[in-house]
Structures are given as C-alpha cells and as structure tokens.
Amino acid sequence: METTEAFVGLDCIDCGERFDAETATHRCPDCGGILDPAYDYDQIDVSRETFESEPFDSLWRYDALLPFPRESAVSMGEGATPLVECPNLADAMGVGEVYLKDEGMNPTGTFKDRGQTGALTAAAQHGAETVALNTAGNAGQSSAAYAARTGMDAHVWMAERAGYTQKAMVEVHGGELHIVEGEITDAGAAYAERMDEEDWYSTKTFVTPYRHETKKTMLYETVEQLDWEVPDAVVYPTGGGVGLVGMHKGAKELRDLGLIDGLPGMYAAQAAGCAPVVEAWEQGESIHEAWGDEEITTILNGIAVPDPGASPMILDALEESDGGAVAAADEAILDAAVEIAQTEGLEMGATCAAAAAGAFDLAEEDELGEDDTVVLLNTGAGNKDVDTLRSHLGEREFESGE
C-alpha cells in the first residue's frame, strides 16, 4: 500500500485498538466498531504558508494530513470549492457574515465526491475490482463515477424514492443499479444480503474508514479561505453525519498543529420529518434512537437517514465544539433555497437548504449573534433537485393565488 509518512493505521472508536491499514479494510476486526485513520502528528511538518504556496486545485493538496499521497489518488479534481460571501443572507439572519461553501462545484455535483475519492483510492490500493454500497442517491452516483475513473465495477442500491438524476447517472457511469421498494433501510438490507455472498469492497458510509477522512478537507479549505479565521458556526445538513464528523476532526487537527485557535461550533441541521440526531441532542442523549420508517415525513431524501450509526460521534462533535442541532420543516427548507437563489443568485440543493433554514432558526433563538461568522455547507448543486425546487415554487404560487 502506498500511504503517507504520518499515517500510522486505523483506530477503532469503540475498543480503541489500532489496526494495520494493509489488513483492516473496513470495520473493526475485533468488535465491529468504526475505524478512524490515525497519524503521528510529530511527522507532519506543515504551516499556513505550506498550503498558501500551493495551487488551490483539489482536496489532495492536503495530502500531508491524509492517508494516501496525491500521486496515488483516484481523483477528478474534487474539492477546492468556492466559499462565497452572502451579504443579503447575513442581513436577513441578523448575523455578522454568512458564507456558503459551494460543494455543488464537485465533479458529480455533491460533496459525496470528497468521500468517494478517498474510498476508491483505498479500494484501488487493496486491489478491489468491484465496489458496492446502499445510498440515498448522491453517494451512489459518485461511487459509480469514481469506480469508472479507476476501471472498477460498481453496484448501487437505492430506494425507489431516490432522485431520477442519481439513478440515471449510476447507469450512465456503467454501474449496476438495484432499486428497492421502501426506504434506505430496505435498500441497506438488500445490499447486505448480496454482500454476504460476494467479496466486493464496500464504499458505504462509515463502513469504509476513508469517507469522513477525505471530507475533513472541507474544514481545512474553509478556514484557509477565511485567512485562517475560525468561523463561529458551521451548519451542516445532516443525514449520516460523515461530513460533520470529518470537519470536526479536521478542526481539531489544525488546532493541535497550531494553525488555528479554537474550534468552530458544529451544528447539525435536519429535516423535522426525520430528525433522530436533533431529538437525541435535545434530550441530552449520547446516542440516537432510530426514527421509525413510517414516521419519515420529509421529501428531502439526502438527509432522511432514520438510523445514523455514527450518532455518538456526531453528538460528541456537537458537544465538544459547543455547537448544537436544529430541525426545520420541509417548507421552511425549500423556502430558504428559493430565497437564496433569488437574493444571492446561488443554487442550493433542496436537502442542503436545511443548513440555511436551520441557521435562520438558530439566529432567531440568539444561538447565532450579530457578530458571528456563519458557514453554511451547500453539500450539493441546486440543479440536481430542480423538480423539488420548481414544484415548491409552483405550490407557493398556487397558495398565493398568483
């Protein structure tokens, strides 16, 4: 395996054992816990100038802090996305500054590419020929794209309600699409049944140790783009929490390496129609309780994750960073997407706008103040959700009699 100098192995977040990344590829061989890449930080010699002197061209510019070197990466130039100031939104919220981290600019239009570049790089190094996962949609499209990039086969399980674009593009990339009746949990069961028979390489959320790892670069980029100022709040549309957990890890690393002072408050935004993380946070629990499939009343597929296995890591990150969690109704979320499209010109994904609607609520509750710098993660491009956004506009016009 071709790894970076400082990468020392994979630590189990449950039993604490460290494993060699050559042999441990997914969950903990001893207890089944999530594995987290570990580093010898004394081997990492970076400063602000190290990064400032390099082109802002892909997340692999941070490979000193990643498991794999840039030369080995299965990459299409993912990451290095714009951080766009939103003065009108800041005024409307009554906060100091708002920035949108525009992950819609990634190769397949979402930040899932940041995770899949890590997962497929690992898969290639382990000699895999076929990758597989169940997904709400975007991760499957991305995994099929990165598999194509490196000449592997991809099998993708999605629920019927997944988006047309995501389903179609899996096939366009040459992947095998499996559509399952029911919810993402049913797609997960069908995937698991097949995986019992195959030795395919999983690229599923928190099954591969590398998706949250390469997503931590969203935080590195954000603070670098803010001239190393730490934002007061980072609001993230949360399903399984991969990006949130990754960004929190990234913030702690930069702090411990002396590149930033302090941690940004991490905020999990969910749709009220499927909000297990918000519920656990509000009740002061350290783990979520699964949201019943029948109780899923949101149409925002990307964050409708009823049973997020990494909720203890998410809740820890919220606690440790002095952040929080907030749920918004679908209508408020879609309104926020439309407002941003009309006042800032930026195209937020329907799911992603949970971050904006959540930030409005946090500002209303004075959790965010008039001097605060707030970063919203636009995890995916608005044009992947045109149907949802346009039909919301149609409903509003109908209701107002226009």
The residues of the shown chain that bind ligand PLP, judged by CB under 6 A, are 110, 112, 138-139, 237-243, 302-303, 305, 349, 351-352, 379-380
Rounded-to-integer distance, Cα 180 and Cα 38, Å: 36
Do residues 240 and 100 make contact, with C-beta atoms less than 8 angstroms apart? no
Determine the length of the chain. 402
Shortest reach from residue 15's CB to Zn ion, in Å: 3
Rounded-to-integer distance, Cα 236 and Cα 230, Å: 16
Continuous segment of H or E residues that includes residue 260: none
Nearest residue to 313 (alpha-carbon basis) of 391, 252, 375? 252
Shortest reach from residue 371's CB to ligand PLP, in Å: 28
**Of 9 and 239, which has the nearer Cβ to ligand PLP?**
239
Contacts of 319 (CB under 8 A, 6+ apart): none
Shortest reach from residue 43's CB to Zn ion, in Å: 25
Selection from ligand PLP, Zn ion, none that 138 binds (CB < 5 to 8 A by kind) is: ligand PLP
Shortest reach from residue 300's CB to ligand PLP, in Å: 9
Shortest reach from residue 17's CB to Zn ion, in Å: 5
Selection from Zn ion, ligand PLP, none that 163 binds (CB < 5 to 8 A by kind) is: none
Rounded-to-integer distance, Cα 273 and Cα 298, Å: 5
Shortest reach from residue 305's CB to ligand PLP, in Å: 6
Rounded-to-integer distance, Cα 18 and Cα 245, Å: 19
Shortest reach from residue 226's CB to ligand PLP, in Å: 22
DSSP per-residue string spanning 310-322:
THHHHHHHHHHTT
Shortest reach from residue 29's CB to Zn ion, in Å: 8
Helices and strands counted in the chain (H then E): 14, 13
DSSP per-residue string spanning 22-71:
TT--SS-TTT-PPEEEEE-GGG----HHHHHTS----GGGGGGGSSS-GG
Which range, of 5-13, 45-53, 212-220, 323-331, touches Zn ion by CB under 5 A? 5-13
Q: Which two tokens stand for residue 219?
A: 């935080």
Q: Which two tokens stand for residue 317?
A: 């990150």
Phi first, then psi: give them for residue 174, nearest 5 degrees: 90, 10
Selection from ligand PLP, Zn ion, none that 33 binds (CB < 5 to 8 A by kind) is: Zn ion
Question: What binding mask, one character per residue, do residues 28-67 give for Zn ion by CB under 5 A, x or -?
Answer: x-xx-x----------------------------------
Q: Does 20 bind Zn ion (CB under 5 A)?
A: no
Q: Does 223 bind Zn ion (CB under 5 A)?
A: no
Q: Does 15 bind Zn ion (CB under 5 A)?
A: yes
Selection from Zn ion, ligand PLP, none that 12 binds (CB < 5 to 8 A by kind) is: Zn ion
**Of 37 and 358, which has the nearer Cβ to Zn ion?**
37
Do residues 267 and 326 make contact, with C-beta atoms less than 8 angstroms apart? yes
Selection from Zn ion, ligand PLP, none that 28 binds (CB < 5 to 8 A by kind) is: Zn ion
The count of other CB atoms within 10 Å of the CB of residue 57 is 10
**Of 72 and 165, which has the nearer Cβ to ligand PLP?**
165
Selection from ligand PLP, Zn ion, none that 31 binds (CB < 5 to 8 A by kind) is: Zn ion
Q: Which residues bind Zn ion (CB under 5 A)?
A: 12, 14-15, 28, 30-31, 33
